[in-house]
Amino acid sequence: MKRLRFATLLTAALIALLPTMAQANVAYPDPLPLTGQQIIHDPTVIHLKSGGYVAYSTGGVIGARLSKDLRHWTDAGNAFAEPPSWWYEYNNTGDPWAPDISYRAGRYWLYYAVSSWGTNHSAIGVATSPSGLPGTWTDKGKAFTSGTTDSFNAIDPALVRADGRLWMSFGSYWTGIRMVELDPLTGTARPDTTVHHLATRPDAPYAVEGPYIVKHGRHYYLFASYDTCCAGADSTYRIRVGRSTSVTGPYTDSTGKPLLEGGGDLLLAGHGRYVGTGGESVFRARGQDWLAYHYYDAEDNGTPKLGLNRLGWTKHGWPKVF
């Protein structure tokens, strides 16, 4: 009888522990070990045609980092020497956010946002450069804007080409992720463009932002940051993903739940010292895809740092970090 009672109690204890054990068994890979200047926020990374890598980010006048091998990074100043005058229409410090770098038509293109915390009076700007290096950018002004009467927020831009057309996803809160078509010659939104809706959350404040879209196989994959950033070690940012056969959606997760209804497979979340993983982008180097993001270092007072992980694909065509 005692043995039976002990077995019963042990079974009950194990059942009670199952949720905790299941949570403990969720493992995410640590980012690639880095050296040098690792402080960064909302990184966008590209392999330069001249060799090496450049990363641009929120902070400074679009902060710049350089690397020859993806592992050691040096501070390279800023994309611009000083803020273009029109930035001050959107905040009094000339502070830009969340850049996106790409290469097409023989030059580099840098998109970025200017806004103020808590408002959708925002603008996405665009600049071009022959080399992609800091100090070589020429600002071309506004690519797209939002105002306080709009239901979307023009920040966190990311470009993607699809079927010979150029698209820009963007968005933060204010009903989530949106997309517009750009004129490939000017790099600005077409005057008659439709504002497509790609992802949102069921309830206010619709905490999804920082989109990035890539094509793999026959699908377009929408990566986005969910929950709260910018709170140091208290941040709850995490990266989710959905896919669609059309760049404008509808996007669904692996269970079929639409991202417009709060769906999205969890790709990467905080673990250990790596808190609040988000602000992501995807780039290709060394013959493979890479995920770039920031995390808040819980062992360094919540300082935002650069995270890099290899991005692979499962046999069912879903992304996975290594």
Enzyme catalytic residues: 42, 209
Residues 6+ apart with CB under 8 A from 188: 126, 140, 141, 142, 143, 144, 182
Contact assessment for residue 150 and residue 174, using Cβ atoms and an 8 Å cutoff: yes
Distance CA 273, CA 302 (A): 9
Distance CA 279, CA 289 (A): 17
How many CB atoms are located within 10 Å of the residue 288 CB?
A: 10
How much is the CA Rg of the chain, to the nearest whole Å? 21
Distance CA 58, CA 49 (A): 23
Residues 6+ apart with CB under 8 A from 177: 169, 170, 171, 197, 198, 199, 200, 208, 209, 211, 222, 224, 259
Largest CA distance in the chain: 83
Which residues are 74's β-sheet partners? 66
| DSSP track, 252-297 | B-TTS-BGGGT--EEEE--BTTEEEEEEEEEEEETTEEEEEEEEEE
Backbone angles phi, psi at 278, to 5 degrees: 180, -165
